[in-house]
Amino acid sequence: MSLGRRRYFVTFVALCGLGVTWGVMVAFDWVSKLGIVTFVPWAALMAFDLGALGGLCSAAAAATLYLVTANAQNVVLDNVQIGVRLGSMIVLGLGAGLAGDRLRSSERAQRGVAALQSALIDSTLDGICLTDEHGEILISNKPLRYLARELGMPQEGSVPERLIAIADRLAEPERYRARMRDLSRTTGEASLDEFELRGSGRVFRGYTAPVQDPDGSFVGRVWTLREVTADRELDRMRDAFVATVSHELRTPLTSISGFLEMMQEEEQALGESGKRYLDVIRRSTERLHALVEDLLLIAQIEAKRVELDLLPVDVVDLATSAVEGQRPAADEKGVTVEIVADHPPIVRADRTRLTQVLDNLVSNAVKFTNEGGTVRVHIAGKGDAVELVITDTGIGIPPDEQGQLFSRFFRASTATQHAIPGTGLGLSISRALVEQHGGTISVESAVGEGTQVTISIPATP
Amino acid sequence: MSPRILIAECDADIRELLEMTVRRLGYVPVDATDDSEVDAVLLEPACESGRSALRRFGDDAPPVVCLSIYPREHGLEPATSVAYLLKPATSAQIARALGRIFAVQPAH
């Protein structure tokens, strides 16, 4: 029943009660015996229901009715008695009316906030729900119910159960199942996952985190779900664009390098300055070529098209050739390069990709170290894995930039201030390749003191 | 007589470069418009006119050295391809690929 209709109903009941009571009192001549007390509950009920002003009026009416009836039945009252009865009835009516108003306004306020909150969470793009400690849904919003239907989730059960139920409709059901099992075990952590519906190419992103009340006690978990198909499509377009441009760059690069090669054969005819110019062109062409290759590799990594050709690899061999490859540049700069190997185990790895990583890291170390500095490569076994630590005494990386080091195209301010050339792709490529081998990479650095990069490659990925 | 190499490449600058390169390696470069006999083809598989120049041989196509802006995985490599080089390749790489076809390294 709505608030308005309930109010009229209560007032009607109170009026009827008042009428019946009055009738009984008149019929049995009980006015003197029971007095105004019999009117009190009805008047109070009516006052509570009608509010302050209505309560005042109804109390006054009930009191007047009583006085008129008492007068008609020859009940003698003195002025003080009349005053006290009339006054207490009015005070009672006003009080009950005010109490009613107060209760209704707080009720209205609560309903208002709840309505606003549910309207708010219903209006967002993300599906949102809150679950209790067992994963049962406490609150959910409209977009969540819509997305759950789109994904074909069952209407019953806990959220982890409903999520597991759709595994077979997804592109990578096994990986997804394992992820969901992890998720239901680790309740204390936040987690962000993406999954793709098989066939349709629609991609969804789910987030979950524990929810705490202001005292810090566990209330439940929040789950949000959003369709990110358009975002992924944009990523794909960007990667395809980068790949196309990079491939197309090979055409002019071929002309430049080819004719450069021809010119170098006729170098004798060029004279001193001509040779110097040619040298600059050659170096720049090599950099351009390296950049194109890096861009293509990044595009391949992003598209998950890099496949590892796993064979037994001696990391010391690869590190030694990486160091020897950088030795001419190091000698020219006056940087000492040393390698210390501590009988590490043989690992299963992709020789070409791992070479790329080591070349990258050693050339970085040499590049960012000034004259008189040292670059040290230390290789040792650590359990089943091989750990490589590349330490330099170079310019270092400011602490607030270290988090971004592995982002594509990111270059530390110390590198740009010293005008040290680079593309900001090396570490991002290295991390992707190391992680594809099931390994880890980390950086520690202090400005002006040096940088230490540690990579760990497991015996088998 | 020196082997004749058909240069099937769309980009004029690279065509000129490849003609110079094969000539220096001791071969005879042949233009795609010339429909005389050839012994091998230097092909950019991404180049449409290059691929159609190859089609005129039908089933009797000569060995092909691909020199492409795309990696092999793009699937443009013709059936008679014997070597696949990624641009920019050095003249030494081209020399090795052609040399394998004619078994002996021609005079530089």
pLDDT at A398: 92
Between A70-74, A279-283, A374-378, the lowest mean confidence (pLDDT) is in: A70-74
Phi-psi region of B65 (alpha: psi -120 to 50; beta: other; left: phi over 0): beta
Pairwise CB contact (< 8 Å): B87 & A250: yes
What number is the average pLDDT over the span A433-460?
A: 93
Residue B74 pLDDT class (50, 70, 90 cuts): confident
A325: which 2 tokens? Answer: 């490859």
Residue pair A151/A204 in contact by the 8 Å Cβ criterion: yes
Q: Please provide the distance, in angstroms rounded to a whole number, between the alpha carbons at the two ends of chain A.
A: 67
**Residues of chain B contacting residue A251, judged by C-beta atoms under 8 Å apart:** 11, 14, 69, 87
Q: Which of B21, B70, B73 sits opposite A258 (nearest CB)?
A: B21
Q: Which of B20, B73, B87 sits opposite A262 (nearest CB)?
A: B20
Mutate to test the interface with B, among A244, A248, A249, A251 (most CBs of B within 10 A): A251
pLDDT at A3: 54
> Which residue on chain A is closest to B24 by alpha carbon?
A262
Residue pair A242/B1 in contact by the 8 Å Cβ criterion: no
Residue B104 pLDDT class (50, 70, 90 cuts): low
β B81-86/B64-68 pair status: parallel
Q: How do residues A17-32 score in pLDDT, each as one tens digit?
A: 888 888 888 887 777 6
Buried b (16+ CB within 10 A) or exposed e, A25-63: beeeeebeeebbebbbebbbbbbbbbbbebbbbbbbbbb
Task: Give the separation between CA A188 and CA A64, rounded to whole angstroms.
Answer: 68
**Residues of chain B contacting residue A262, judged by C-beta atoms under 8 Å apart:** 17, 20
Higher pLDDT, A83 or A3: A83
> Which residue on chain B is closest to A251 by alpha carbon?
B69
Closest C-alpha to B63, from B103, B108, B105, B16: B103
Pairwise CB contact (< 8 Å): A262 & B70: no
**Residues of chain A contacting residue B70, judged by C-beta atoms under 8 Å apart:** 247
pLDDT at A189: 80
pLDDT at A32: 67
Pairwise CB contact (< 8 Å): B17 & A247: no
What number is the average pLDDT over the span A205-225?
A: 90
Give the phi and the psi of residue A158 in degrees, each rounded to 5. Answer: -75, 165
Annotate B53-97 with DSSP letters as a single string: HHHTTTTSPPPEEEEESS-GGG----TTEEEEEESSPPHHHHHHH
Judged by a CB distance cut-off of 8 A, whether residue B23 touches chain A is no
Residue B59 pLDDT class (50, 70, 90 cuts): confident
Task: Give the separation between CA A65 and CA A62, rounded to whole angstroms.
Answer: 5
pLDDT at A133: 84
Contacts of A394 (CB under 8 A, 6+ apart): A365, A368, A369, A370, A373, A450, A451
Residue pair B78/A248 in contact by the 8 Å Cβ criterion: no
Q: How do residues A134-184 score in pLDDT, each as one tens digit?
A: 889 999 999 999 999 988 899 888 888 898 899 888 888 888 888 888 877
Between A250-259, A418-427, B76-85, the lowest mean confidence (pLDDT) is in: A418-427
* Type of residue numbered A317: D
**Residues of chain A contacting residue B91, judged by C-beta atoms under 8 Å apart:** 258, 261
Closest C-alpha to A22, from A11, A35, A13: A35
User: Which B positions 48-77 lie with beta carbon below 8 A of chain A?
Assistant: 69-70, 73
What number is the average pLDDT over the span A25-40?
A: 75
Handedness of CA A267, A269, A274, A276 (dihedral sign): positive
Residue pair B26/B19 in contact by the 8 Å Cβ criterion: no
Contacts of A82 (CB under 8 A, 6+ apart): A67
- State yes or no: pLDDT of A80 exceeds 50: yes
Residue A312 pLDDT class (50, 70, 90 cuts): very high
Task: Give the separation between CA A306 and CA A293, rounded to whole angstroms.
Answer: 13
Between A235-239, A396-400, B82-86, the lowest mean confidence (pLDDT) is in: A235-239
Q: Which of B20, B88, B91 sits opposite A253 (nearest CB)?
A: B88
Whole-number mean pLDDT of chain A? 87
Task: Give the separation between CA A294 and CA A360, rounded to whole angstroms.
Answer: 11
User: Which B positions 31-50 lie with beta carbon below 8 A of chain A?
Assistant: none
- State yes or no: pLDDT of A100 exceeds 90: no
**Residues of chain A contacting residue B69, judged by C-beta atoms under 8 Å apart:** 247-248, 250-251, 254
Task: Give the separation between CA B72 and CA A312, rounded to whole angstroms.
Answer: 26
Handedness of CA A28, A34, A40, A45 (dihedral sign): negative
Residue at token pair 């598209």: A303
**Residues of chain A contacting residue B14, judged by C-beta atoms under 8 Å apart:** 251, 254-255, 258
Pairwise CB contact (< 8 Å): B11 & A250: no
pTM beyond cutoff 0.80? no
**Residues of chain A contacting residue B75, judged by C-beta atoms under 8 Å apart:** none
Q: How do residues A237-260 score in pLDDT, each as one tens digit?
A: 888 888 888 889 999 999 999 999
Residue A1 pLDDT class (50, 70, 90 cuts): very low
**Nearest CA to CA, how far is B105 from chain A (Å)?**
20
Contacts of A448 (CB under 8 A, 6+ apart): A395, A396
Handedness of CA B87, B10, B6, B80 (dihedral sign): positive
**Residues of chain A contacting residue B47, judged by C-beta atoms under 8 Å apart:** none
- Tell me the percentage of chain A whose pLDDT exceeds 90: 38
A218: which 2 tokens? Answer: 């566990």
Q: How do residues B1-55 score in pLDDT, each as one tens digit?
A: 789 999 999 999 999 999 999 999 999 999 888 878 899 999 999 998 888 888 8
Q: Rounded to 5 degrees, what angle do the CA atoms A420, A424, A425 make?
A: 135
Confirm whether the ipTM is greater than 0.85: yes
> Which residue on chain B is closest to A263 by alpha carbon?
B17
- State yes or no: pLDDT of A305 exceeds 50: yes
- State yes or no: pLDDT of B73 exceeds 90: no
Pairwise CB contact (< 8 Å): B87 & A289: no
* Type of residue numbered A242: V
